[in-house]
Amino acid sequence: MMKLVIFSSIFIIFVNSLYVPYAKKRIDQSVVTQALNALVPLDQRIDAKVTLNYQNMASGKDFSHDNSPYPLFTSIDASVMQGPTYKAINNLLQYYTKPDIDASETMTESWNSSISDFLDTIISTQVMQNAWQFLQQNSLSPTDKDAFKSQLYTLWFQLYARNTAIGSSGFESVFSGETNSTNDVVRFNNWIKFYTQEQSTNVNYHGWFTKANGIQITLQFAWNDYHAMKQSFLLNSSPEFEFSAYTICALSGGDCTMSINGQSIEIAASTLSKNGQTVIDECYALSGGGPAPATTKKPNKNDPELQTLVDQMWAADKDRPQTGDIKINWGNKVNGKTDVSPDPMFTHVNEDLYKKPVYADLITTYNQNLFTPQVCTAESPMSGFKKSYLQTVFNTFTSSPAFDLAFKYLQNKKYPNTSSLDAFKPFLWNLWFGTYSRCSGTMGSSGWEHVFSGEWKGDEIDGQHDWTRYYLLEKAGKINYYGYYSYDSQLIGTFQYTWEKYLKPKGGFFTATSPAFDFSILTVCALEHSGANACQFNLDNYPIYITSYTQKCDAGTCISTAYPSDEP
């Protein structure tokens, strides 16, 4: 009896280790998120090589409504499909000719060897090497390469039956698409297949339901005679990235979150157990969670009118950069006081923006070098052409729709001198342009110079919270970006850089607002909610914390500093 028990338990251990050595298991979600986020910078995304045309939203009720006359993909640079993993996946896709889940399929030798080539190509990528390392560290995958390849083969390519016919596989479900007997697309979750089918006019895009531009889309389309009422996939990511991310998620619990370009992405990756083996059921990505950090930060809602004001100002700020006007490369996380980000922060700025008066008038003041950055050098008097350039931009800012809203808010709050804009402007002028000292009595500073232009104090940069100023100095080779502390999408960041020989150890600004918006909100915060992180609101769903202080000056009240941050 005893012998039998021992024998059978040895047998079970033996069977276990032989057939299911790396069963999936639930891993702490934050660890999985970290692992997935680590893959993102390794992905060779094709953002710059693709033009998408989202057009209208799809009809949730009626499939016969084609709300988008043009293809989703306007163009993709021809070089993309020449990449080794793209070649391998397109080669493999030609064997998936029976999307019907009830049609049985037979693996052929050439099909099988195309799978093998695909797996070899994917496994050799940096993305998959990194994913494999994570899987090994968590005992989810073997360390031997052939054994790992075999695990991926079973997980993704083993044909199985959803009903009776053996004709499904994880790869087919995710990367090729599956249909059912009522001619519905039941799974189809990859952009490459969509794109190639759209190119050969087998796919007709109907519109989108939700999307994170250039990152993810939930959409409707016809695929031959099949109806894809609502499917989701990632955009612009490489096949190795999707294959790796979905593998990690499928083996570690199935519900994952990651962040791509600041956008929170949720992955659903379910598995099935077929003949004692774990196989992929379906994997897709959603962007419903909104911007990545929004859920973790809670802004102070002590002034509901402030949030209303900010929402209205955001809507009214037509001068701010629109999608695609700016592109930021946040580079690497700050490490001490060294340059850990070789590239500039601004990858691209559509300088047509600078024709708008709020930028043009501001840039004129920069080009005229009206201020001496050294806080210990006295500023030239506020008169003559200096005063007239500054008055021009001051008038432009104060006649912007954003400022108009800010002024009405201050009127509502019964702030002194707000009986009319004309009555308020002299006070506001002094608030920003009144001079004071930051260096033993030398009148070398003003709120405007500090916030917009930036100053030098000791061997550091003081102030400088205007993205236009930063961009122009960076473009001129005078600013060297070191790395970020934190950021929210392309909206705002906290980072480190040098300007000539001066270091900004930690600073930041809005990157997706107009300077008139910044001027207006900083004014409101300085007058109504001054103090460290005392002015809090959500901007485009991100919590923002503005620190501002005023001080007594010859002119009355002057702004000492005012700047926004993505973190308290």
Ligand X SMILES: *[C@@H]1O[C@H](CO)[C@@H](O)[C@H](O)[C@H]1NC(C)=O
Interface ranges with ligand X (CB under 6 A): 107, 109, 112, 116, 153, 180-182, 184, 186, 416-417, 426-427, 556
Nearer to ligand X, 181 or 201 (CB): 181
Closest to 288 in 3D by CA, of 351, 212, 366, 181: 212
| H or E element at residue 507 | strand 502-510
Q: Rounded to whole angstroms, how far apart are CA atoms 303 and 460?
A: 35
Shortest gap between Cβ of 109 and ligand X (angstroms)?
A: 6
| H or E element at residue 524 | helix 515-528
Nearer to ligand X, 160 or 427 (CB): 427
Nearer to ligand X, 194 or 484 (CB): 194
Closest to 496 in 3D by CA, of 487, 508, 505: 505
Query: SS3 of 537, please?
Result: strand
Tabulate helix, strand, coil % of the chain (nearest 5): 40, 25, 35
Shortest gap between Cβ of 187 and ligand X (angstroms)?
A: 9
Shortest gap between Cβ of 185 and ligand X (angstroms)?
A: 8
Work out the end-to-end distance of the chain between its first and last CA atoms, rounded to an integer number of angstroms. 67
Nearer to ligand X, 522 or 555 (CB): 555
Helices marked H in 138-238: 145-152, 170-171, 191-199
Q: Rounded to whole angstroms, how far apart are CA atoms 137 and 218?
A: 33
Shortest gap between Cβ of 416 and ligand X (angstroms)?
A: 4
Nearer to ligand X, 186 or 491 (CB): 186
Shortest gap between Cβ of 450 and ligand X (angstroms)?
A: 20
Nearer to ligand X, 82 or 181 (CB): 181
* Residue 513 DSSP label: S
Task: Tell me the two tokens of residue 5.
Answer: 């028990």
Nearer to ligand X, 137 or 420 (CB): 420
Nearer to ligand X, 117 or 567 (CB): 117
Residue located via tokens 């485009």: 540
Q: Are 445 and 437 in contact (CB under 8 A)?
A: yes
Shortest gap between Cβ of 107 and ligand X (angstroms)?
A: 4
User: How far is CA 360 from its chain centroid?
Assistant: 29
Shortest gap between Cβ of 141 and ligand X (angstroms)?
A: 17
Shortest gap between Cβ of 431 and ligand X (angstroms)?
A: 9
